[in-house]
Amino acid sequence: MLGIYVHIPFCNGKCPYCDFYSLAGDEEIKERYVEAVLRELEEAHRDGMRADTLYFGGGTPTLLSPQQLGRITTQARRLYELQNAEITTEANPNSVTFNQLDSLRQSGINRISFGVQSAVDAELKLLGRRHTAAQAEQAITLAKQAGFDNISCDLMLGIPNQTAQSLAQSLDWINRQNIQHVSAYLLKIEPSTPYFGSEVLKLCPSDDTCADLYLQTVRSLTQMGFEQYEISNFSIPGLESRHNLKYWQCEEYLGVGAAAHSFLNGRRYGHSRKLERYLALGLQDVQFTDENAGGMEERLMLGLRLNRGMALDSLKGLHNPKGFLDRVDAYKALGLLTVSGNRIALTPEGFLLSNTILSDLISYALPPD
């Protein structure tokens, strides 16, 4: 079944490290956007299309009213069924109320992901976040009171001035929240962001320190009862993000809204990052980005992000199978990769070097250009 991703680009302000497409918007432009999303869901539908996940990302999706998000959910359910679906919205901890969360839960949204990033207020200030650790804790409490029992938090590693001690403070905070999912990402400052080229970069931990912070996170979350199922994602068993697993397993998904991308029928396509263009053109704004997606290189790059790895027999047609398997054995000997029956998987230490390992394996999997 499909996953459906709906991009909600509105944000009260852009964090200085953020490269996602977002902008401010008044109530009139938000309503126009909702109407455009409803139209696109209708126009993109084809006979037999069914979905079992719906994900509202942004931006800050909860800047739309619960009624507006509910209308989108209802449209998706009418067209794509959404039976036993996982329906997620992202939210900022400082911009939710009990009444809002209760309305979201009543509209059918059953999973919420808070952009916490850190439980250290000084780190949050450096990141330009608009909430405190206390506000994040209050948001989680309100979500539970509203009936959410599948709550995720983002945690950021490599924050300026972050140390093992400050990360331990954030991890202890996570442990107290009784949540079901954690996404732990290394901070990457893109050239298009205000922080790129700024003095803040000098405050970021070294690559070696970031590696230690990552392994510290893996150990701590594992001790709390979380299972790592992807390079950056951890969950209570059985509560993995079903939507995001579709990306990593090369399953089909429909992206709706400005800057959203889709993978359908072996092709990738997406909308431009221009709101007015999307409002004017809708589905006609789609541009193909890769008409031969889902090939071996992509399957390797995505499949080895997963903790369970991938089956070797899914890699039919290797250009140099002996060389590929020799490299697998070499990485196994270094403790960077495991082989279990027909499956290969990276270890936590291997995840840290995944770009290098994948580039090497791909050079044996595919013929040279």
Give me the CATH number covering residue 16: 3.20.20.70
Could you tell me the two tokens for 111?
Answer: 């999973």
Q: What is the mean pLDDT of residues 142-161?
A: 98
Q: Is the pLDDT of residue 193 over 80?
A: no
Q: Given this model, what pLDDT does residue 197 score?
A: 63
Domain containing 340 equals 308-365
User: Does 199 share its domain with 330?
Assistant: no
Residue 52 domain flag: yes
Q: What is the mean pLDDT of residues 337-350?
A: 95
Residues 241/269, Cβ–Cβ less than 8 Å: no
Q: Are residues 67 and 182 both part of a single domain?
A: yes
Question: Does the pLDDT at position 95 exceed 90?
Answer: no
Higher pLDDT, 199 or 166: 166
CA distances from 191 to 10, 125, 195, 196 (A): 22, 21, 8, 5
What ranges in the chain are assigned the alpha helix state H?
Answer: 27-44, 66-80, 98-106, 121-126, 133-145, 164-177, 207-223, 242-248, 275-281, 296-303, 321-333, 348-352, 354-365
Which residue, of 216, 247, 278, is where some domain finishes? 247
Establish if 75 belongs to a structural domain.
Answer: yes
Same domain for 213 and 357, yes or no, is no
Maximum distance among all alpha carbons in the chain? 61
Question: What percent of the chain lies above the pLDDT cut of 90?
Answer: 75
Question: Are 312 and 220 members of one domain?
Answer: no
As a whole number of angstroms, the distance between CA 344 and CA 230 comes to 14
pLDDT at 7 over 70: yes
Residues 225 and 90 occupy one common structural domain: yes
CA distance 282 to 304: 35
Statement to judge: residues 239 and 322 lie in one domain: no
| Structural domain includes residue 222 | yes
Q: What is the mean pLDDT of residues 163-179?
A: 99
Q: Which of 198, 230, 247 corresponds to the end of one domain? A: 247
**Residue 189 lies inside a defined structural domain of this protein:** yes
- Does residue 344 form part of some domain? yes
Residue 296 belongs to some domain of the structure: no
Does residue 275 belong to any structural domain of this protein?
no
Q: What is the mean pLDDT of residues 236-247?
A: 98
The number of folded domains in the chain is 2
Q: What is the pLDDT of residue 295?
A: 83
Look at 200 and 124; give whichever has higher pLDDT: 124
Per-residue pLDDT band for 16 (boundaries 50, 70, 90) equals low
Q: Do 230 and 318 lie in a common domain?
A: no
Residues 43 and 146 in one domain: yes
Q: Which pLDDT does position 284 carry in this prediction?
A: 81
* 135 and 62 share one domain: yes
**Per the domain annotation, does 63 fall within a domain?**
yes
Residue 18, pLDDT > 70, answer no
Please tell me whether residues 171 and 31 are part of one structural domain: yes
Helix (H) / strand (E) containing 34: helix 27-44
- pLDDT score of 266: 87
User: Do residues 226 and 328 share a domain?
Assistant: no
Whether 41 and 169 map to the same domain: the answer is yes
Residue 203 has pLDDT above 90, yes or no: no
What does the pLDDT read at residue 354?
Answer: 95
Of residues 281 and 181, the one with the higher pLDDT is 181
Tokens of 339: 């082989």
What is the reported pLDDT for 22?
Answer: 61
- Running DSSP on this structure, what letter comes out for residue 16? T
| pLDDT > 70? residue 196 | no
Average pLDDT of the residues in 154-180: 98
Who has greater pLDDT, 298 or 143? 143
Q: Which pLDDT score is estimated for 93?
A: 95
Q: Tell me what pLDDT residue 313 has.
A: 85
Confidence of residue 293 (pLDDT cuts 50, 70, 90): low
pLDDT for 204 equals 86
What count of other Cβ atoms lies within 10 Å of the Cβ of residue 106? 12
Question: Final residue of a domain: which of 226, 247, 268?
Answer: 247
The confidence score (pLDDT) of residue 297 equals: 87
Q: On the CB side of 76, how many CA atoms lie within 13 Å of its CA? A: 30
pLDDT tens string 100-129: 999 999 999 999 999 999 999 999 998 888
Mean pLDDT of 68-82: 98
The pLDDT of residue 198 is above 90: no
Q: Which of 15-29, 153-167, 190-204 ranks highest by mean pLDDT? A: 153-167
The confidence band for 222, taking pLDDT boundaries of 50, 70 and 90, is: very high
What is residue 287's predicted lDDT score, i.e. its pLDDT? 80
pLDDT band at 19 (very low <50, low <70, confident <90, very high): low
**Predicted pLDDT of residue 17:** 62
Task: Look up the pTM and report it.
Answer: 0.93
